[in-house]
Amino acid sequence: MKKTRLQLMLCGGSGCQATGSRKFQDALEKELKHTRLDQEIKVIETGCNGFCAVGPVMLVQPEGIFYQKLKPEDVPELVEEHFLKGRPVKRLQYVEPASKETIPNMHDIPFFAHQKFRVMRNKGIIDPEVIDEYIARDGYFGAAKALTQMSPEQIISEMKISGLRGRGGAGFPTGLKWEFAAKSPGNIKYVLCNADEGDPGAFMDRSILEADPHAVLEGMLIAARAINAGRGYIYCRTEYPLALHRLDVAIKQAREYGLLGKNILESGFDFDIEVYQGAGAFVCGEETALMRSIEGKRGMPRPRPPFPANKGLWEKPTVLNNVETLANIPQIILNGGEWYASIGTETSKGTKVFALTGAVNNIGLVEVPMGITLRQMIYDIGGGIPNKRKFKAVQLGGPSGGCIPAQCLDTPIDYEEIAKVGAIMGSGGVIVMDEKTCMVDMARFFLDFIQDESCGKCIPCREGTRRLLETIEQICQGNGKPEDIQTLETLSEVIKNSSLCGLGQTAPNPVLSTLRYFKDEYIAHIVEKKCPAKRCTALLDFKIDAEQCKKCGLCFKACPANAITWQKKEVAIIDNEKCIECMSCFEACRFNAIN
């Protein structure tokens, strides 16, 4: 590889591509060529940087200068000032919202400074479509060690020492899972990678696949060696075209380098990987359903036992690991299980990647050591709640998870501790909600998702979630009855106890956890027929509170139906005949003056 003066690490993740990184890249490359800097400055498209909220983003190496919200128009100034004259462009750098201070260096920005990068150590640093760059960062060294210096028993023992638990949600110890499959008799075995990331609000696996696909391939190769599997499949959602493309490129390159295929690294071991595209079914994230889907059937779960370690894909012993779990493995083998276990809590080791979204300033992907508190994650890394609103709850674990209220914010990130407060670690979706979120409406949202995605096999899940949804919809409509709360609780217990798979067993969690902490909101909806967060339109009056109104006219400007009359220095009035209840005025009003 040729040496260059500067490397411009431009994020090419899905988030940045959507905000225009491609157009910026074209303009940048053109300008560099035009100014003849293209020999000494190299533009590298990287995987997801994680700080999606301020995209497109670019890191200038080796200086470590971080630029955000880049537009093609910014190119001439950047090239002239920074790349030619060495004066970084301040207006394109990160500004700390609280202190209004400009922070030039990426590692000083609080969003990055509080993180600990293990799984995402290569994100934004290497070009994910060039295998040499991965190898230069010790890539495939773990696999080489596993294949040439370690026995399968030693690999499994190292995994057990590391304490790594499945990052897909359930948290089953990975080493133990491998041991079961390794001991299972049979010549044909499979290693599967679960990249069917379906939880709404979660995008960790997509980012890992986009930023560092080889880490996942290497993890699979080590797993294959441990259980003696000859073939692997990556089951990836079809909604992730960039991740699918990067996987294809990575697999081709690994084959060319002899890291997949026959007699890998002269060890006599054969292993190859194929990508299987999902077709859009949430339940296929469940292991037995995923295997059914690869077999070309409707993705419906089946009872366990037999467990996949004994009878999995095509009835053969199978190990299924999540993307993040697999991306951890190369470093565990290279640095040892004890190194890995050196951070974390008693029962939860290493780091966890979270997709931090919702009502939080710094939306993006974060990797934190196990054991830090939710408060640290939301406030120190996430930068707190925007628009001076109040924190209300944080939702962890997607549709199967639960809402955690303000009084539990000091809960450490740990599988058991999070379960104690009524949520689950889950795959890593973290949705922060402010006072404008209605918890009944939130439960309704997740139930709508679950009842739609229920595969229909078990009646408690198929029918029960619909009844739950109907009951909650009635409450949101203002037709709730006092006995509804009891009905919701009883029905939830039945669904939980009598469903076959994880989807059904956890389906009532959104209801149970909101009832646990926010019962007063349910009561307000049912008894007072009020929605305290002002989200449920049926319970709103669409009237302006004259005392609160600051006569600014923002609601008047926002109304698409011309239903609001307003003049300067006068309180606005909504004409309820014309009002289409679209909520535009609620969003526009900054003084909470509309009821």
Partner 1 sequence: MPTPTQLNHPDISPEMVPEIDGIIGAHYRTDGAVIPVLRLCQDIVGYLPMELIDYISYGLNLPRSEVLGVATFYSLFSLIPKGRHTIKACLGTACYVKGIKEVMTRISNEFNVKEGETTSDRRFSLEAVRCLGACGLAPVVVVDQDTHGGVSASQVKSLLEKYD
Task: Select from 84, 98, 113, 279 the one that contacts partner 1 (CB under 8 A).
Answer: 279
Does 310 contact partner 1 by CB under 8 A? no
Which CB, 198 or 508, lies closer to partner 1? 198
Q: How far is the CB of 545 from partner 1 (least distance, A)?
A: 22
Which CB, 124 or 278, lies closer to partner 1? 278
Task: Select from 107, 113, 280, 578 the one that contacts partner 1 (CB under 8 A).
Answer: 280
Q: Which stretch binds partner 1 (CB under 8 A): 71-79, 186-194, 280-288, 461-469?
A: 280-288
Does 275 contact partner 1 by CB under 8 A? no
What span, in angstroms and rounded, lies between the C-alpha atoms of 112 and 96?
Answer: 12
Number of Cβ within a 10 Å radius of residue 322: 26
Does 418 contact partner 1 by CB under 8 A? no
Does 440 contact partner 1 by CB under 8 A? no
Among the listed residues 379, 383, 350, the one whose alpha carbon sits nearest the alpha carbon of residue 367: 350
Does 431 contact partner 1 by CB under 8 A? yes
Which CB, 311 or 349, lies closer to partner 1? 311
What span, in angstroms and rounded, lies between the C-alpha atoms of 319 and 341?
Answer: 22
Does 19 contact partner 1 by CB under 8 A? yes
Does 538 contact partner 1 by CB under 8 A? no
Which CB, 182 or 208, lies closer to partner 1? 208
What span, in angstroms and rounded, lies between the C-alpha atoms of 276 and 195?
Answer: 10
Task: Select from 31, 127, 196, 199 the one that contacts partner 1 (CB under 8 A).
Answer: 199
Does 67 contact partner 1 by CB under 8 A? no
Q: Which stretch binds partner 1 (CB under 8 A): 62-70, 244-252, 288-296, 497-505?
A: 288-296
Q: How far is the CB of 99 from partner 1 (least distance, A)?
A: 23
Which CB, 131 or 475, lies closer to partner 1? 475
Q: Which stretch binds partner 1 (CB under 8 A): 123-131, 146-154, 260-268, 441-449?
A: 441-449
Q: Using CB atoms within 10 A of its CB, is residue 204 exposed (0-12), middle (13-18) or buried (19+)?
A: buried
Q: Which long-range contacts (CB under 8 A, 24 or more apart) does 181-185 make?
A: 181/227, 181/229, 181/308, 181/309, 181/317, 181/318, 181/319, 182/152, 182/156, 182/226, 182/227, 182/228, 184/309, 184/310, 184/317, 185/317
What span, in angstroms and rounded, lies between the C-alpha atoms of 412 and 170?
Answer: 17
Q: Identify the bridge partners of residue 103 per DSSP, sorted by sequence position.
A: 94
Does 15 contact partner 1 by CB under 8 A? yes
CA dist list (Å): 369 to 39, 44, 295, 373: 40, 29, 37, 10
Number of Cβ within a 10 Å radius of residue 130: 16
Which CB, 253 or 509, lies closer to partner 1? 509
Task: Identify the helix (H) or strand (E) that includes residue 387.
Answer: none
Does 405 contact partner 1 by CB under 8 A? no
62-93 in b/e burial notation, b at 16+ Cβ within 10 A?
eeebbbbebebebbeebbeebbeeeebbeebb
How is residue 308 written in tokens?
């996949």
Alpha helices in 350-389, H assignment, sequence order: 374-375
Which CB, 72 or 201, lies closer to partner 1? 201
β-strands 391-396, 402-405: how paired?
antiparallel
Residues 354-383 contacting partner 1, CB under 8 A: 355, 357-359, 363-364
Q: How far is the CB of 371 from partner 1 (least distance, A)?
A: 25
Number of Cβ within a 10 Å radius of residue 205: 31
Does 587 contact partner 1 by CB under 8 A? yes
Binding string, residues 227-266; x marks residues near partner 1 by CB under 8 A: -----------xxx--------------------------
Residue with structure tokens 């469940």?
A: 286
User: Using CB under 8 A as the criterion, which residues of the chain lie in contact with partner 1 when the complex forms?
Assistant: 14-15, 17-19, 52-53, 55, 197-203, 206, 238-240, 277-282, 293-299, 314, 355, 357-359, 363-364, 395, 398, 429, 431, 433, 437, 445-446, 449, 453, 455, 558, 560, 582-584, 587
